[in-house]
């Protein structure tokens, strides 16, 4: 999988791309990442990438011509000739959920476009395939959102985690839509809080039933919206 990132601050990705599973995915060849700055296509002596908004208002707006030129350059020199699916990172986009992360992980190439300043010229939207948001809040740029997309997709690529079954039992797994059950390890007791006896009894059927019950209870209490969706589909 290839990820292209359009960002004014490529230096923010330095440590991120060499750490943990992202670094493992790149080292193992499951993931490649290219970073490109719109500043390379900026205008004038100062390589300007933004301008004041028509109609007045606060802040500066990223120019459509500069952003599109950056996107098109990444397509033009794609090493495998595959044009990336363009994803605009914006608080106005659809929420990034586990199912969408899985869909993106199955793409041969995606391009993540990070905004800055007050935002971007509205005409940029005509040059992307979809818009994604981390949630109903606003940040100063899309770089953290881009990292979240990369992190959530690379772990789904075959061979990156090492244990493919772990993604089938975690929170928001597509087969269940439930939150994950609680985990315990040593010590068996800590400040009066003990590991549930069922987990150390060796009864695998009992453990499976306990974990399933915990998933149901956690989802019902902590995420009633997810529980309501299950009920609406008639799922037990």
One-letter-per-residue 3-state SS of the chain: CEEEEECCCHHHHCCHHHCHHHHHHHHHCCCEEEEECHHHHCECCCCECEECCCCCCCCCEECHHHHHHHHHHHHHCCCCCCCCEEEEEEEEEEECCHHHHHHHHCCCEEEEEECCCCEECHHHHHHCCEEEECCCCCCCCCHHHHHHHHHHHHCCCCCCCCCCCHHHHCCCCCCCCCCCCCCCCCCCEECCEECCHHHHCCCHHHHHHHHHHHHHHHHHHHCHHHHHHHHHCCCC
Summarised one tens digit per residue, pLDDT across range 18-55 is 999 999 999 999 999 999 999 999 999 999 999 999 99
Residue 206: alpha-carbon gap to chain centroid? 35
Is 111:86 a contact under the CB 8 Å cutoff?
A: yes
Q: What pLDDT score was predicted for residue 230?
A: 87
Summarised one tens digit per residue, pLDDT across range 138-192 is 999 999 999 999 999 999 999 998 766 566 667 787 778 899 999 999 999 999 9
Summarised one tens digit per residue, pLDDT across range 47-106 is 999 999 999 998 999 999 999 999 999 999 999 899 999 999 999 999 999 999 999 999
Q: What pLDDT score was predicted for residue 174?
A: 77
Domain 2-154 and domain 166-232, same fold? Reply is: no
User: Higher model confidence: residue 112 or residue 170?
Assistant: 112
Q: What pLDDT score was predicted for residue 167?
A: 66
Domain parsing of the chain, residue ranges = 2-154, 166-232
* Token pair in block for residue 79: 């090493």
CATH topology of domain 2-154: Alpha/beta knot (3.40.1280)
The class that CATH gives domain 166-232 is mainly alpha
Nearest to 75 by CA among 50, 108, 52, 46: 108
């Amino acid at each position: 999988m290839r990820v292209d990132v359009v960002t004014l601050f490529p230096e923010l990705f330095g440590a991120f791309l060499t750490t943990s599973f992202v670094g493992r995915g790149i080292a193992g060849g499951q993931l490649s990442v290219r970073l490109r700055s719109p500043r390379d296509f900026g205008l004038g002596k100062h390589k300007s990438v933004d301008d004041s908004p028509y109609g007045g208002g606060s802040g500066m707006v990223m120019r459509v011509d500069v952003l599109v030129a950056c996107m098109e350059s990444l397509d033009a020199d794609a090493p495998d000739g595959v044009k990336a699916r363009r994803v605009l990172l914006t608080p106005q986009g659809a929420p990034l959920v586990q199912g969408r992360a899985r869909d993106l992980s199955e793409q041969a190439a995606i391009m993540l476009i990070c905004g800055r300043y007050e935002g971007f010229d509205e005409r940029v939207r005509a040059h992307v395939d979809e818009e994604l948001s981390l949630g109903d809040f606003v940040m100063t740029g899309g770089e953290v959102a881009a990292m979240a997309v990369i992190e959530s997709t690379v772990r789904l690529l075959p061979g990156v985690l090492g244990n493919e079954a772990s993604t089938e039992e975690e929170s928001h797994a597509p087969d269940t839509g439930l939150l994950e059950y609680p985990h315990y390890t040593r010590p068996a007791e800590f400040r009066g809080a003990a590991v549930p006896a069922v987990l150390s009894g060796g009864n695998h059927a009992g453990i499976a039933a306990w974990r399933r019950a915990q998933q149901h209870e956690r989802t019902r209490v902590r995420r009633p919206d997810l529980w309501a969706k299950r009920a609406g589909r008639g799922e037990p």
